[in-house]
């Protein structure tokens, strides 16, 4: 049992400096725990304290912070999550990404709450952690391997008890939206953490831990878990929906709400027969082999699939839409193969889809020609080019080298930055902002750029809110709802639990679980305050990195081109929607009119 | 069925359930299945989780798949799997929280109605105990088999589930359940030996006895055999008042107006907004004619016969039959105590009706008619209040007053038991005893 006064923590931070090869550990500051708890919060704090916001993301000075939460690895449902924080090479904002699987739990059981990786190794290396034994190994033989081969090889070498996290060729080649992959199929995807790892010449981190996690008040934890589990069993979406259909079960629902992007967000029109070919139902009825789950998760939303004899995982909703419908591609096998390939090369499927969509629109408008593409017909609907293009991106071959820079840099390079569907350089996920005003506000105020989850996942409010439903076109009161949703969602990110549990239970149950694990009384309000603090700190980092109000915006398309949704033609009105909502949102957050956190706000949150 | 039609049905039933206090603002759920052309598996429609039954919109109804789960499951009610099980043997199901029925479930393992309609239609209602009585797997496993046998069941300390061949029939069953529970609850408070009545009524039901109420049907709802908009308005207004004043459970009772040698007859007198019953034009002379059967009136139903008999023996132009739970409890008490009347304790009631005559169940029609004609209305133990008047509006005043009169008497008795006031008999007007 760890010698630490707060339950749920191992009490130590592991630090590895790849430039010097120095490995050290230090005690986790209790004050940080109380203010930032863990996961995304702990990551943000350690990252903020240790990094100059002006740093070049792909330089040796960027930092990677892997952090678990106090609930990670406990009996709390779906508590296998951990976060990595970094400065994003895609957006230049603070980056953080969250993943499930088993790696986070096993890392924590090595006796650490976080791992901070600094510097740059002169040669490819990987880190092994077996309980308290930490070592840096040469990774020359592994360099160039994809994540599947790498995982098998490392386990073969070190033994079955190890869990592998690493990068494929995309990370090595510093593709700006390269993901870190753990447990072969789970991705720390958004914002390019794989590229940061690649820039450090760090191929993998393998872990094998056996230590116990200290629970301060088991009875209270049990109460909280009982209540949470009851609610998960009672809610159709957590008891049946996600397990039966995976997240792609949302495809038809989102389509019916005229929100499913098409051809780089040009419209939301699709033939229903096409849509039906890529739904969660279609996955279940054709390629699904078995449902899979992350650590201690009864929801089991993960799809264990097989295409043409090749097994893999996925696709999820975002992948199906961003690498399918938004490219005019409705062939499930092609999308799934593309998904497998992204997992192998280590690529974020949302940004990849968004970047390919931008390339296709550039191509269809004649801004990119066949000369640029080595003969590839980058037309919407042309599924044949998807797999070769992914390889070209991962290996930075031909036009792939340009696409590897992400849609914003790509579109700008060809003279049409307006065709990049990004916020702060991060590709917009699979919900058209014109079809949900609340999601728009979420996209523009998410600290890592356009993110449905860190934007508060307002789609959830609009469709699954139940008693808490907020109409997706409502203007009044929306800033408050979005801020609340962002904060409520962040609780999972710093707890170490999966956001999908929020379909069934929330802060109320979590506060009991937190208190049971940590032995510190934490009310729902306390938890929300931690979230607010984290959101403000992340914003502060972005402000120092040069972001301001002008960056809290959408691509021009959404202000000038209408889509038919919610019974009429709609777009985002710059004044009436964006300006008005931002004004109120900033006010609620305690930020000034430029979106800079005010002094008193920093004081309030002890930043 | 077009989407608008079933969405309207959900909405109207949801509003009606809220009006009867069967739901809190966000509780309960309604489902139905429908065979769609060209698709082998029927569609399942169910209210969204957290939706407000009193304000349902089309987007609050989702389709999560009956056998094979579909995307609608992301929004579906947490009780969807229970509905799926129930719908293996029914077309529609509803979960609601009828207050009195739920209250009785705290201390009973079943509810045995003592009123005729409840006893005949619902029979004994099982109460099932669950370790976790909200949306649990145990409920998914145990409720559907219970509802194969019974039209409704109660989850102990939680609420009721009911099934039926249509949403309306399900709501009828729930509404009837709450009515029967209320009659039982107040009758027992008034000291009526419910056990004795329950065994007698179940013995009676084993035989065929006169006056068996007809089976529920919504086949001809909204069918009107008159195009006189004013009389239709009067029917609508009266029938809605009967429902919202809780003078009779949903789609029960009957109302008619005399029109020459015919009457316009509504076999459902309690109809909330959007859920009307039919109105037939029926000859006053013909008894149990083929026309009656064509109108969906069962040959065993005594109601039509009583409407005709009242018109044949009086000058009244409107007749209403309702089932007020408060009045029924009083009628049970009166008969149990050998009394033939209910005497108002309240001033308004006493001023209008010195006494309401009470008859034992299965009365002779001529005797019932005589009492109605003489006293404007009469209560029949376990069978309702019959009243006659000049217009529908005028006639409605009688059962509506009876409900209040009996409400006061029931609650005054409760208060007396708790030492909070005198015996209700001390408050009765002398005049009522000799009226
Ligand atoms: S819900 Fe899905 S993503 Fe979340 S922990 Fe469970 S299996 Fe993993």
Q: Check A236 against B64: CB less than 8 A apart.
A: yes
Q: Check B71 against A251: CB less than 8 A apart.
A: yes
Is A40 domain-assigned? yes
pLDDT at A465: 67
CB of A471 within 8 Å of a chain B CB? The answer is no
Residues A245 and A176 in one domain: no
Across-strand partners of A207?
A: A129, A163
Give me the residue label for tokens 């739901």: B23
Residues A440 and A568 in one domain: yes
pLDDT bucket at B298, cuts 50 / 70 / 90: low
Q: Check B77 against A251: CB less than 8 A apart.
A: no
Q: 70-129 in B: which are within 8 Å (CB) of A?
A: 70-81
The alpha carbon of residue B104 is apart from the nearest alpha carbon of chain A, in Å, by 25
Strands (E), A467-552: none
d(CA B24, CA B14): 11
Q: A337 and A400 in contact (C-beta within 8 Å)?
A: no
Residues A195 and A276 in one domain: no
Please determine, for residue B286, whether its predicted confidence score (pLDDT) is greater than 70. no
To 5 degrees, how large is the angle CA B391–CA B396–CA B398? 115
Closest CA to B147 of B168, B173, B172: B173
* Tokens found for residue A29: 């500051």
CA of A501, closest atom in ligand 1: 1
pLDDT tens, residue by residue, A163-208: 999 999 999 999 999 999 999 999 999 999 999 999 999 999 999 9
Rg (CA), chain A: 22
Please determine, for residue A18, whether its predicted confidence score (pLDDT) is greater than 80. yes
pLDDT tens, residue by residue, A133-156: 999 999 999 999 999 999 999 999
Peptide bond into A315 cis (omega under 30): yes
DSSP letter at A574 equals I
Of A74, A81, A294, A314, the residue with max ligand 1 atoms within 8 A of its CB, to mutate for a pocket test, comes to A294
Residues A269 and A354 in one domain: yes
pLDDT tens, residue by residue, A249-266: 999 999 999 999 999 999
pLDDT bucket at A563, cuts 50 / 70 / 90: very high
**Cα of A65 to ligand 1 centre, how many Å?**
22
Which residue of A lies nearest to B49 if distances are taken between CA atoms? Answer: A466
Residues A460 and A496 in one domain: yes
**Cα of A264 to ligand 1 centre, how many Å?**
28
Q: What residues contact residue A579 under an 8 Å CB cut-off, 6+ apart?
A: none
Which residue of A lies nearest to B53 if distances are taken between CA atoms? Answer: A467
Residues A140 and A55 in one domain: yes
**Cα of A109 to ligand 1 centre, how many Å?**
20
Is A441 domain-assigned? yes
Residues A443 and A412 in one domain: no
* Tokens found for residue A321: 């839409």
Closest CA to A14 of A83, A71, A65: A65
Work out the burial of residue B199: count CB atoms within 10 Å of its CB; fewer than 13 is exposed, 13-18 middle, 19 or more buried.
Answer: exposed
Q: Give how far Cα A362 sits from Cα of A112, A374, A413, A424, B270, Å.
A: 47, 15, 11, 20, 66
d(CA B405, CA B352): 10
pLDDT at A85: 97
Across-strand partners of A347?
A: A178
To 5 degrees, how large is the angle CA A72–CA A78–CA A80? 35
Across-strand partners of A67?
A: A83, A114
The domain that contains A121 carries what CATH number? 3.60.9.10
Q: 250-269 in A: which are within 8 Å (CB) of B?
A: 250-253
Which value, to the nearest 10 degrees, does the dihedral of the CA atoms of residues A171, A173, A178, A179 take? -10
Closest CA to A586 of A577, A578, A596, A576: A596
CB-nearest to A234 from B71, B72, B134 is: B134
Q: What residues contact residue A415 under an 8 Å CB cut-off, 6+ apart?
A: A367
Q: Check A469 against B26: CB less than 8 A apart.
A: no
The pTM is what?
0.89
pLDDT tens, residue by residue, B154-188: 999 999 999 999 999 999 999 999 999 999 999 99
* Tokens found for residue A306: 């097989």
Is A584 domain-assigned? yes
Which residue has its alpha carbon closest to ligand 1 atom 2? A301
Domains of chain B: 3-205 (3.40.225.10), 229-434 (3.40.225.10)
Residues A383 and A447 in one domain: no
Long-range contacts of B370-374 (CB under 8 A, 24+ apart): B370/B313, B372/B310, B372/B314, B372/B319, B373/B310, B373/B313, B373/B314, B373/B316
Lowest mean pLDDT among A346-360, B65-79, B332-346, B414-428: B65-79
Q: Check B71 against A235: CB less than 8 A apart.
A: no
The alpha carbon of residue A252 is apart from the nearest alpha carbon of chain B, in Å, by 7
pLDDT at B291: 64
**Cα of A497 to ligand 1 centre, how many Å?**
9
Give me the residue label for tokens 């099932």: B128
Is A458 domain-assigned? yes
Closest CA to B428 of B342, B333, B328: B342
Residues A119 and A186 in one domain: yes
Residues A441 and A420 in one domain: no
* Tokens found for residue A80: 């296998």
Is A231 domain-assigned? no
CB-nearest to A245 from B52, B69, B77 is: B69
Residues A75 and A195 in one domain: yes
CB-nearest to A281 from B48, B51, B70 is: B70
pLDDT bucket at B5, cuts 50 / 70 / 90: confident
- DSSP conformation letters of B198-229: HHHHHHHHHS--TTPPPPP--TTTT-BS---H
DSSP letter at A65 equals E
pLDDT at A105: 97
Q: In what order do the strands lie in the sheet with B61-62?
A: B61-62, B43-47, B29-34, B92-96, B159-164, B152-155, B125-128, B110-111
Which residue of A lies nearest to B75 if distances are taken between CA atoms? Answer: A464
Q: Give how far Cα B104 sits from Cα of B157, B160, B188, B382, Å.
A: 8, 11, 11, 19
**Residue that wins the pLDDT comparison between A54 and B285:** A54
The domain that contains A481 carries what CATH number? 1.10.599.10
Is A516 domain-assigned? no
Of A68, A78, A101, A496, the residue with max ligand 1 atoms within 8 A of its CB, to mutate for a pocket test, comes to A78
Please determine, for residue B212, whether its predicted confidence score (pLDDT) is greater than 80. no
Closest CA to A502 of A483, A517, A521, A485: A485
Please determine, for residue A327, whether its predicted confidence score (pLDDT) is greater than 90. yes
Is residue A589 within a helix (H) or strand (E), and if so which, with residue range? helix A580-589
Q: B287 and B304 in contact (C-beta within 8 Å)?
A: no
d(CA A418, CA A158): 49
In chain A, how many domains are there? Answer: 3
Please determine, for residue B42, whether its predicted confidence score (pLDDT) is greater than 90. no
pLDDT at A488: 92
Please determine, for residue B227, whether its predicted confidence score (pLDDT) is greater than 70. yes
pLDDT tens, residue by residue, A198-243: 999 999 999 999 999 999 999 999 999 999 998 898 888 898 899 9
- For B18, phi then psi, to 5°, come to -65, -40
Residues A559 and A488 in one domain: yes
Give me the residue label for tokens 């509006």: B393
pLDDT tens, residue by residue, A482-535: 999 999 999 999 999 999 998 889 888 999 999 999 999 999 999 999 999 999
**Cα of A299 to ligand 1 centre, how many Å?**
6
d(CA B125, CA B176): 11
Is A221 domain-assigned? no
d(CA A101, CA A81): 7
Is A42 domain-assigned? yes
d(CA B77, CA B31): 10
CB-nearest to A253 from B68, B71, B79 is: B71
Residues of A whose CB is below 8 A from B78? 234-236
Substitution target from A226, A236, A243 for chain B, most B beta carbons within 10 A: A236
The per-residue pLDDT of chain A, averaged, comes to 95
Q: Check B71 against A240: CB less than 8 A apart.
A: no
Mean local confidence (pLDDT), B39-60: 89
Q: Which residues line ligand 1 (CB under 6 A)?
A: A 78, 100, 242, 293-294, 297, 299-302, 498, 500
Give me the residue label for tokens 């039901």: B205
pLDDT at B296: 60
Substitution target from B61, B73, B82 for chain A, most A beta carbons within 10 A: B73
The domain that contains A349 carries what CATH number? 1.10.569.10
d(CA B264, CA B235): 10
Closest CA to A455 of A469, A471, A437, A476: A437
Which residue of B lies nearest to A464 if distances are taken between CA atoms? Answer: B75
Tell me the residue range of the domain where A489 lies. 436-503+523-604
pLDDT at B99: 97
Other CB atoms within 10 A of residue B238 CB: 24
- DSSP conformation letters of B63-85: ---SSS--GGGGTB-TTHHHHHH
d(CA B293, CA A216): 73
């Amino acid at each position: 049992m760890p010698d630490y006064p707060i339950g749920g923590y191992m009490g130590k931070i592991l630090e590895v400096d790849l430039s010097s090869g120095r490995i050290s550990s230090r005690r986790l500051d209790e004050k940080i725990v109380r203010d930032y708890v863990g996961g995304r919060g702990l990551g943000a704090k350690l990252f903020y304290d240790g990094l100059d916001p002006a740093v070049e993301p792909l330089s040796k000075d960027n930092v990677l912070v892997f952090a678990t939460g106090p609930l990670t690895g406990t009996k709390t449902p779906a508590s296998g999550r951990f976060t990595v924080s970094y400065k994003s090479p895609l957006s230049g904002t603070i980056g953080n990404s969250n993943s499930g699987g088993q790696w986070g739990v096993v890392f924590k059981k090595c006796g650490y709450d976080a791992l901070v990786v600094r510097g740059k190794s002169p040669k490819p290396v990987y880190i092994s952690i077996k309980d308290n034994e930490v070592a840096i190994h040469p990774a020359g033989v592994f360099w160039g391997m994809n994540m599947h081969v790498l995982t098998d090889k490392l386990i073969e070498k070190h033994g079955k008890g190890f869990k592998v996290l690493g990068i494929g060729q995309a990370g090595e080649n510093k593709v700006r939206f390269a993901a870190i992959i753990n447990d072969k199929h789970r991705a720390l995807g958004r914002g390019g953490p794989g590229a940061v790892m690649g820039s450090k010449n760090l191929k993998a981190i393998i872990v094998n831990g056996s230590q116990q996690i200290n629970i301060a008040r088991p009875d209270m934890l049990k109460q909280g878990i009982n209540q949470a589990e009851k609610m998960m069993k009672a809610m159709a979406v957590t008891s049946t929906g996600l397990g039966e259909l995976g997240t792609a079960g949302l495809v038809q629902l989102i389509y019916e709400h005229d929100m499913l992007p098409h051809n780089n967000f040009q419209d939301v029109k699709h033939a229903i027969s096409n849509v039906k070919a890529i739904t969660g139902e279609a996955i279940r009825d054709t390629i699904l082999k078995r449902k899979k789950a992350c650590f201690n998760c009864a929801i089991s939303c993960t799809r264990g699939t097989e295409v043409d004899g090749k097994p893999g995982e996925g696709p999820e909703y975002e992948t199906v839409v961003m690498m399918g419908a938004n490219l005019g591609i409705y062939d499930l096998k092609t999308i799934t193969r593309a998904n497998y390939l992204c997992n192998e090369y280590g690529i974020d499927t949302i940004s990849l889809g968004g970047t390919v969509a931008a390339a296709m629109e550039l191509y269809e408008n004649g801004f990119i020609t066949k000369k640029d593409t080595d003969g590839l017909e980058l037309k919407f609907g042309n599924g044949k080019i998807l797999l070769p293009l992914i390889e070209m991106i991962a290996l930075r071959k031909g036009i792939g080298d340009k696409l590897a820079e992400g849609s914003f840099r790509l579109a700008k390079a060809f003279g049409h930055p307006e065709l990049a569907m990004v916020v702060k350089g991060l590709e917009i996920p699979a919900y058209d902002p014109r079809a949900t005003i609340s999601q728009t506000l979420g996209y523009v105020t998410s600290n890592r750029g356009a993110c449905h989850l860190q934007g508060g996942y307002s789609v959830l409010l609009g469709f699954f809110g139940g008693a808490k439903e907020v109409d997706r076109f409502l203007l009044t009161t929306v800033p408050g709802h979005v801020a609340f949703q962002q904060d409520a969602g962040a609780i999972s990110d710093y707890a170490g639990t999966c956001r999908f549990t929020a379909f069934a239970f929330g802060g109320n149950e979590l506060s009991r679980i937190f208190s049971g694990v940590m032995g510190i009384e934490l009310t729902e309000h306390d938890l929300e305050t931690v979230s607010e603090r984290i959101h403000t700190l992340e914003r502060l980092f972005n402000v120092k990195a040069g972001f301001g109000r002008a960056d809290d915006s959408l691509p021009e398309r959404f202000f000038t081109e209408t889509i038919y949704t919610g019974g009429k033609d709609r777009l985002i009105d710059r004044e009436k929607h964006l300006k008005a909502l931002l004004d109120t949102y900033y006010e609620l957050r305690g930020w000034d009119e430029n979106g800079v956190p005010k002094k008193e706000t920093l004081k309030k949150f002890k930043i | 069925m077009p989407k608008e039609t079933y969405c309207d049905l959900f909405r109207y039933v949801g509003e009606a359930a809220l009006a009867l206090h069967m739901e809190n603002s966000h509780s309960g759920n309604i489902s139905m299945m429908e065979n769609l052309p060209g698709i082998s598996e029927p569609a399942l429609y169910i209210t969204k989780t957290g939706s407000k039954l009193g304000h349902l919109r089309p987007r609050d109804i989702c389709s999560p798949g009956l056998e094979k789960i579909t995307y609608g499951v992301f929004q579906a009610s947490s009780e969807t799997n229970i509905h799926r099980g129930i719908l293996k043997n029914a077309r529609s199901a509803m979960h609601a929280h009828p207050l009195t029925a739920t209250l009785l479930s705290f201390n009973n393992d079943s509810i045995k109605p003592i009123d005729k309609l409840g006893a005949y239609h619902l029979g004994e209602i099982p109460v099932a105990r669950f370790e976790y009585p909200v949306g649990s797997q145990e409920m998914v496993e145990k409720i559907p088999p219970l509802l194969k046998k019974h039209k409704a069941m109660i989850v102990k300390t939680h609420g009721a589930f009911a099934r039926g061949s249509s949403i309306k029939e399900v709501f009828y069953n729930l509404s009837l359940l709450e009515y029967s529970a209320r009659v039982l609850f107040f009758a027992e408070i008034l000291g009526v030996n419910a056990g004795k009545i329950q065994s007698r009524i179940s013995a009676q039901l084993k035989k065929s006895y006169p006056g068996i109420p007809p089976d529920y049907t919504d086949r001809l709802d909204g069918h009107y055999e008159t195009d006189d908009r004013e009389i239709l308005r009067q029917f609508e207004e009266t029938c809605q008042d009967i429902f919202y004043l809780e003078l009779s459970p949903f789609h029960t009772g009957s109302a008619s107006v005399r029109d020459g040698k015919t009457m316009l007859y509504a076999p459902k007198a309690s109809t909330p907004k959007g859920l009307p019953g039919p109105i037939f034009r029926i000859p006053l002379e013909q008894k149990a004619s083929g026309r009656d059967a064509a109108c969906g009136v069962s040959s065993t139903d005594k109601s039509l016969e009583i409407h005709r008999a009242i018109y044949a023996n009086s000058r009244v132009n409107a007749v209403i039959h309702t089932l007020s739970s408060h009045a029924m409890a009083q009628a049970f008490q009166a008969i149990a105590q050998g009394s033939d009347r209910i005497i108002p304790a309240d001033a308004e009631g006493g001023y209008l009706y010195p006494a309401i005559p009470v008859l034992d169940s299965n009365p002779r029609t001529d005797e019932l008619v005589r009492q109605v004609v003489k006293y404007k209305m009469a209560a029949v133990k376990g069978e309702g209040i019959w009243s006659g008047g000049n217009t529908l509006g005028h006639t409605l005043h009688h059962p509506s007053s009876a409900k209040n009169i009996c409400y006061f008497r029931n609650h005054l008795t409760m208060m007396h038991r708790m030492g909070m006031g005198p015996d209700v008999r001390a408050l009765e007007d002398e005049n009522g005893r000799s009226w």
